[in-house]
Structure formats: structure tokens, C-alpha cells
Amino acid sequence: MQVMKWSALALAVTAGTTQLAFASAQSDSKGFLEDSSLNLLNKNYYFNRDFRDGGRNNSGRNALKPANERKGYREEWAHGIMGFYESGFTQGTVGFGADAYGFLGIKLDSGGGRTGTGLLPIGSDGRPQDDYSEAGGAVKLRLSNTVLKYGEMRTTAPVFATSHSRLLPETATGFHLSSEEIENLALEAGHFTAYNNRDSTNSDDELLINYGANEVGKTMDYVGGAYGINDQLSVSLYGAKFEDTWNQYYGNANYTLPITDDQSLNFDFNIYQTNDTGKKLQGEIDNTTFSIASTYTIGAHSFLLAYQKVDGDTPFDYVGGDSIFLSNSMQYSDFNGANEQSYRAGYTLNMASYGVPGLTFMATYVYGDDIDGTKADPDGGYADLQGADGKHRETNLDLKYVIQEGAAKDLSFRARQAFHRANDDQAEGDIDEFRLIVEYPLSIL
């Protein structure tokens, strides 16, 4: 779609005909220390994954292995302590500040025969480390409502988003620019050169690619933004360049139709276009992937239906652990195989309407078929990943409770269960997976 290639700059110029609506955030600065915050997160995480066909516990390409190369059961239990400090900005026309973080992960239970869930790094002896830690940060400056950062940070762009799906968050190293000078328009751009994986303490890891093999690009650049047209409709556009690998474009439209005070209908459309570029480090790529989801909410109940389609001879792939803003990306599988189409049905119950605020339940089912990975570039990073007739299905159950008041306010308990079944051509295997996550956030400053 040609519209996908509009730059965020063009969008900003169009929106620039409207009146500037924000007062300068920098002019309201109270100071480096006066506006600072310090937050602490304790996270206790139990994870087991049982490969019913003997599968191995790795994500992405490493999960797509022939059955005779897969083995085992993986189980780990760990505790993470994460501190996040964000300074304010010094006063003046241009404000200066700094952000910092410190993470500590502690093994509570695991072993050489059960490790590999991604909660803990694995030592040279093949056993999980007893503990691991890291620290980092970024410097920042602000002019009006525009902020430039350099250093190690978490990112949230749909073409480059770090993940917090295991014990400690991923981070990336580089530059990030964000701007909110115009009402309802948020722009951002980034240039990143290194990554810190979820089970690593190295801030100079290669950029994370999820499904491809071969050499990876050394830089990731993107620009984009989101615009709220009104209270019901918002759109976003992004463009990204993964050095010598691909150019990727993303678009989203989200619309909510209010029906009554307790009823609404939401539509969410996402699309990615990915094409090889430069040295084509992952081979030839021409991939268009989209999803459309509709959610009907009535009181405490929400019902979701979604359709997702991959048009291309390679899987939809992405840089960064959470850079997939598609409706059918689930707890275990992304349903992103070459030429795959998938269907999702889901139900969510919010128990606040029944006198138990903070308690929610979710059940969802996804079925995918028509996977054919046999036409991928034989010299590329996706060769031999999947066969000609891949099919699979996944069921997710999610129960979460957040304490609403008292000394333990915001303490949360979450249980997540996934069941995934697949044929050999799909190649992710048959797994039962259970996660129990307890989080306790504290605001120190």
C-alpha cells in the first residue's frame, strides 16, 4: 500500500496547519531533582514449558526444529528486582537530565536439565547462573516538548520494541527523539546499534532478530508517530530501516464506536510491509502482513474476533523482542508463518462489575493454516524453516488479580496457561506452558 510509505514528517507538516495546543513542558520544569522519580519493581516468575513431542524450549527460529532434534521439559523459578530512576530537567530554555536503571535476577530453582526458559542466563557449563545483574542509563535534553535521549533504554515503537516478557526487561543502546509539539500528535525517531537480551547482562549484544538466521544488520533506524483524530479514532504510521536487511513500514487505525454507556464496538487494524534492502542479509523478502480485530464490550464482558494474514514466502519477522503489533501474536506462537492465515476468538471478563475489582479472566483460541515456507530464498535466513502444509492452534487462559487498596496496593498475581498443537510442517511443536507471575511495584520518589 502506497499510503504506508508516507513519512511521519509529512504527517507533522499536515498537522502543523492546526494551532499549537501545548504549553511548553520545559517552561514548567521544576528542576533536575525536584521532578525526579524512583520506582522499584519486584517480580517473582515461575515458568515451565513441557514439549509434548519432545520439543526444545527456544523461541523463534530455534523452536522450528525437526522432531528428532527436540527434547525435554523446561522449568525455572526466579526473582527479579528492578530499579528505575528518571530525573527531571534543569530549568532554562534547554533542560538536561538523566535516566538510570539497575536490575538484579536471582535463581530460586532450576538446573542444567531444566534450564532454557529465558528467565536466567546459561553459563559455559550449561547450567543457569545463580544470579545476574546489570545497570545502565541515558542522558537527555528537552526543548519545549521535544526530548532527545542517548544511552540504554526501553523502546515501544511498533517497528522496534523491547520486551519484558521474562524476568528482566530488554534494553537497546542508541538515540531516541520524541516530540509532542502539536495537540494529539506524538512523533518519534530512533537510531539503535546494540541490544541487551532478556537473559543477558551484555549491553552490546547484536540487534535481536526473532526468526531469521545468517548475519544481522548493525543498525536500526525508524521514524513515525500517532495522531488522535478524535476521542474515537486514532492512526499511526512508521517506517524503519534494518541495515542491509529490510525496509519495514507499519500502519494502524483504531476506532471505537460507543453504543450505550456500557456497550462499545472497537475495530483495530494493523499492517506491516517488509522488503529486502542492501546486502539482503536475510535473503529476498517481500512480505505484507496484516490483522484486523473487532471487540464488542458489554458491561463486564468483552468478545473478540480477529483475522490475520501473511502474504509472503517468508515469515513476518521483526527486530526487538516485542515489535509485533498484530492481533494473533499469542503467548507462545506469533502465527506469522510464510503465507499463513489465522483466526482468533476471545473472551474477557472483568469481575469489578461483580464486586471483585482487580480480578480479570481471559480465554482465547487461535487457529492457523495454509503455511508454506518451501518457496523462501534457499540462500536466505528463512530457508527450510517450514514445510508446505503447516497447521497449528493455540489456546490461552489468563487469570490476573491486582490488589486495589491497603499496604499491598498494586500487588498483582497472574497465572497464564498455553496449549499449542502443530503438525511437522508448522514446526513449533506440541507444548503445554504455564507461567505464574507476581509483581509488586513501589514508588520511592
Q: Are 61 and 385 in contact (CB under 8 A)?
A: yes
Q: Are 329 and 340 in contact (CB under 8 A)?
A: no
According to the model, what pLDDT value does residue 21 have?
Answer: 45
Do the strands 286-298 and 185-196 form a parallel or antiparallel pair, or are they unpaired?
Answer: unpaired
Of 50, 163, 164, 244, catalytic:
244
Q: What is the mean pLDDT of residues 306-322?
A: 97
Show the domains of the chain with their CATH numbers. Answer: 2-443 (2.40.160.10)
Q: In whole angstroms, give the CA distance from residue 96 to residue 301.
A: 46
The model's pLDDT over 205-242, given as tens digits with 9 standing for 90+, comes to 999 999 999 899 999 999 999 999 999 999 999 999 99
Q: Are 321 and 170 in contact (CB under 8 A)?
A: yes
| pLDDT exceeds 90 at position 421 | yes
User: In the structure, what pLDDT confidence band is assigned to residue 246 with cuts at 50, 70 and 90?
Assistant: very high
Look up 410 and say whether it is catalytic.
Answer: no
According to the model, what pLDDT value does residue 387 have?
Answer: 96
Q: What is the mean pLDDT of residues 197-203?
A: 89
According to the model, what pLDDT value does residue 116 have?
Answer: 86
| pLDDT exceeds 70 at position 403 | yes
The model's pLDDT over 343-368, given as tens digits with 9 standing for 90+, comes to 999 999 999 999 999 999 999 999 99
Three-class HEC string of 80-146: EEEEEEECCCCCCCEEEEEEEEEEEEEEEECCCCCCCCCCCCECCCCCECCEEEEEEEEEEEEECCE
pLDDT, the chain, mean = 91
Instruction: Give percent of the chain above pLDDT 90.
Output: 82
The model's pLDDT over 31-76, given as tens digits with 9 standing for 90+, comes to 999 999 999 999 999 999 999 876 544 444 444 443 333 457 899 9
Q: In whole angstroms, give the CA distance from residue 30 to residue 356.
A: 40
Q: What's this model's pTM, rounded to 2 decimal places?
A: 0.90
For 321-338, b/e burial (b = at least 16 CB within 10 A) is bbbbbbbbbbbbbbbbbb
Closest CA to 197 of 169, 221, 176: 169
According to the model, what pLDDT value does residue 168 have?
Answer: 96
Q: In whole angstroms, give the CA distance from residue 210 to residue 58.
A: 11
Look up 244 and say whether it is catalytic.
Answer: yes
User: In the structure, what pLDDT confidence band is assigned to residue 125 with cuts at 50, 70 and 90?
Assistant: confident
According to the model, what pLDDT value does residue 3 have?
Answer: 37
According to the model, what pLDDT value does residue 54 have?
Answer: 64
Q: What is the mean pLDDT of residues 150-161?
A: 98
Q: In whole angstroms, give the CA distance from residue 70 to residue 99.
A: 42
Three-class HEC string of the chain: CHHHHCCHHHHHHHHCCCCCCCCCCHHHCCCCCCCCEEEEEEEEEEEEEEECCCCCCCCHHHHCCCHHHCCCEEEEEEEEEEEEEECCCCCCCEEEEEEEEEEEEEEEECCCCCCCCCCCCECCCCCECCEEEEEEEEEEEEECCEEEEEEEECCEECCEECCCCCCCCCEEEEEEEEEEEECCEEEEEEEEEEEECCCCCCCCECCCECCCCCCCCCCEEEEEEEEECCCCEEEEEEEEEECCCEEEEEEEEEEEEEEECCEEEEEEEEEEEEEECCCCCCCCCEEEEEEEEEEEEECCEEEEEEEEEEECCCCCCCECCCCCCCCCCCCCCCCCCCCCEEEEEEEEEEHHHHCCCCEEEEEEEEEEEEECCCCCCCCCCCCCCCCCCEEEEEEEEEEEEECCCCCCCCCEEEEEEEEEEECCCCCCCCEEEEEEEEEEEEECC
Q: In whole angstroms, give the CA distance from residue 393 to residue 153.
A: 35
Rounded to the nearest angstrom, the gap between the alpha carbon of residue 369 and the centroid of all alpha carbons in its chain is 24
| pLDDT exceeds 80 at position 9 | no
User: In the structure, what pLDDT confidence band is assigned to residue 22 with cuts at 50, 70 and 90?
Assistant: low
Q: In whole angstroms, give the CA distance from residue 117 to residue 165.
A: 11
Of 7, 50, 191, 412, catalytic:
191
Q: Letter for the amino acid at 335? A: F
Look up 262 and say whether it is catalytic.
Answer: no
For 102-119, b/e burial (b = at least 16 CB within 10 A) is ebbbbbeebeeebbbbbb
CB-based contacts of 10, cutoff 8 Å, min separation 6: none
Of 29, 144, 323, 333, catalytic:
323
- The strand pairing partners of 12, in sequence order, are none
